[in-house]
Amino acid sequence: MPIKKGDLVTRERGFSRNTQPWFLKPGLVISKPYEDKIHLTDVPLRVVDICIVVDIIIDNQIYRAVPVADLVRITGSPHV
């Protein structure tokens, strides 16, 4: 299933656990998926990737243009 606005997600990859620990917490998707440019490197060459991204909110902070490929939807366990 694709990620959509209103989903609860967690970031699985694409960040540093040491410098960006807030991405270990769940976040709420607050935008529809959209296409944006992501800067991968600046040195020695500037490399840019165009990918599908969403905006998420974690602890009242909005993080814009988070790649959907780096996110995993949090689903509840089915009741038995």
pLDDT digit string, tens, across residues 20-79? 878 889 999 999 999 999 887 888 888 888 999 999 999 999 999 999 999 999 987 655
- 72 φ, ψ to 5°? -130, 130
| pTM (predicted TM-score) | 0.81
**Beta carbons within 8 Å of 54's beta carbon, 6+ residues apart:** 3, 5, 29, 30, 31, 32, 33, 34, 66, 68, 71
**Which regions of the chain does DSSP assign to beta strands (E)?**
8-11, 27-29, 34-41, 47-58, 61-67, 71-73
Q: Higher pLDDT residue, 16 or 56?
A: 56
Q: How far is CA 79 from the centre of its chain?
A: 28
